[in-house]
Amino acid sequence: MTQITLLDSPNWKDYALLDSGNGLKLERFGPYTFVRPEAQAMWSPTLPGEDWAVADAVFQPTGEESGGHWNIKRKLPDQWEMHYQLTSGAMLRFIAMTTPGRHLGVFPEVAAHWDWMAERISQNEKQKKVLNLFGYTGLATLACAATGAQVTHVDASKKSVEWARKNQALSGLADKPIRWLVDDALKFVQREARRGARYDGIILDPPKFGRGPKGEVWEVYKSLPRLLDACREILSPKPLFVVLTIYAVQASAIHAGQALTDMMKGFGGGVEQGELVTRERSAGRLLSQAVYARWGK
């Protein structure tokens, strides 16, 4: 029987899921509170309406999947600083801000992966090479670099890479060996394979749909198998980990686990699959945020 693991990130101080329900979630990012859509919150809120009414901003979606705008109810700074301390001891500092796509620069539920990867890197005396694909604002990259890895960070968005580099400076990690690249994930991996590059760890956080810097189309169901095959070609003979996280898709964690198991045949180790979840402060309910699979020895 395939085991499904529910993985949460209980060590946050600067983030909290305060409540959820009626297709919404009430969250705290640093000192500010926000209401965002959450289709899976198919229950009633626990906190009274006045607790929701004092949120600093509410995201109003449009008919498009991720489109909409922020209704700023109280004055917010253009950006503010947040922190997360890894279980290995390193402190990540990063910028949060409202964006047109309802996100704020951090996916808090992924912190469980940051700690898991950082622990494995810190247990090795030899410096490990890690590739972070679809790296967004760089927090997984910084978690790996802070614990001794040499990291290549790839994202199709120049704005996200610039944001990530600011987070690097804010975290005091400017001297760490990080390559920041604006590129298409699949094309980059294929070029790395031709160059004979090898990585000890690979992080994949692909979107459901996206475009590369030159208009390359990414559709997760069609594109992910090719990317996993290409990633296998650039793994070192004794890799440390591979982490796959998928958002906003109608797919089970079992499917992600099976795809990763196929990719890692012959490397030994084992694959864990499950859901990234966040626990409410109000009633302790679990809110599923993404499916994941991760391989390690």
Sequence-distant (6+) residues with CB within 8 A of 182 are 154, 155, 156, 157, 158, 161, 213
Above 70 in pLDDT, residue 65?
A: no
Question: Under DSSP, is residue 282 helix (H, G, I), strand (E, B) or coil?
Answer: coil
Half-sphere exposure of 7 (CA within 13 A, CB side): 24
Q: Which of 229, 204, 230, 208 is nearest to 219 (CA)?
A: 208
Give the residue extent of every domain in the chain.
4-296
| pLDDT mean over 161-167 | 98
Q: What length does the chain have?
A: 297
pLDDT digits (tens, 9 = 90+) for 226-273: 999 999 999 999 999 999 999 877 778 999 999 999 999 999 999 999
Thinking of the domain 4-296, which architecture would CATH place it in? 3-Layer(aba) Sandwich (3.40)
Above 60 in pLDDT, residue 1?
A: no
Pairing of strands 24-29, 15-21: antiparallel
| pLDDT mean over 92-106 | 95
In the structure, what pLDDT confidence band is assigned to residue 111 with cuts at 50, 70 and 90?
very high
Question: Under DSSP, is residue 13 helix (H, G, I), strand (E, B) or coil?
Answer: coil
